[in-house]
Amino acid sequence: MRILVVNGPNLNMLEKRDATHYGSFSLGMIEESLSGTFPEIEFEMYQSNIEGEIVGKLQSADANYNGIVINPAAYSHYSLAIRDALELCNIPKIEVHLSNIHGREEFRQHSVTAAACNGVVAGLKEISYIAAVFALNKMING
Ligand code: DQA
């Protein structure tokens, strides 16, 4: 089983961002924690700061993966292009946020991409990713 983990802009700088919201894990540490928790699953960790690159990656996801975890980062709040690309994916997909976007600034409280996903996990810092993979695994393998 192969899971694509897509990370949007500025998540490559995670260890330098506000730990109160985002925790203290780097993306590399999140990948290690996913592989350690789910040794039977193959993960591809993908990060891009560019909207069109994320759209391209999503367009090739059906053919190459069994499920998607996506943190669109700031694009969550306004990228209709990423939302449309997610709608085209027929494999299960879960949106994640490290921070609890519902308790933050008003502009972060709405995600335009979330409606194109099967579910959303927010506010658990790096555990959001683990919870999303747990759910995907159940959805795919029962
Ligand atoms: C984020 C929340 C977004 O509002 C923000 O722009 C991010 C990260 C999160 O994981 O909490 O870059 O998606």
Residue of 27, 97, 112, 124 to mutate, ligand 1, most atoms within 8 A of C-beta: 97
- Strand-pairing partners, residue 119, are 94
pLDDT in tens, 93-103: 999 999 999 99
In a domain, 142, yes or no: no
The domain tally of the chain equals 1
Mean of all residue pLDDT scores within the chain: 98
> Around Cβ 139, how many Cβ atoms within 10 Å?
16
Domain-embedded: residue 139: no
C-alpha separations of 30 from 34, 84, 85, 104 in Å: 6, 27, 24, 23
Helix (H) or strand (E) holding 139: helix 127-141
Write the CATH number for 117. 3.40.50.9100
Which pLDDT belongs to residue 86? 98
Q: Is residue 39 in a domain?
A: yes
Evaluate whether residue 24 is within a structural domain: yes
Q: Which strands form 93-97's sheet, in the order they lie side by side?
A: 42-47, 2-7, 67-71, 93-97, 119-122
Q: What is the pLDDT of residue 125?
A: 98
Report yes or no on 78 lying in a domain.
Answer: yes
Could you tell me the residue range of the domain that residue 127 belongs to?
A: 2-134
**pLDDT tens column, 45-97:** 999 999 999 999 999 999 999 999 999 999 999 999 999 999 999 999 999 99
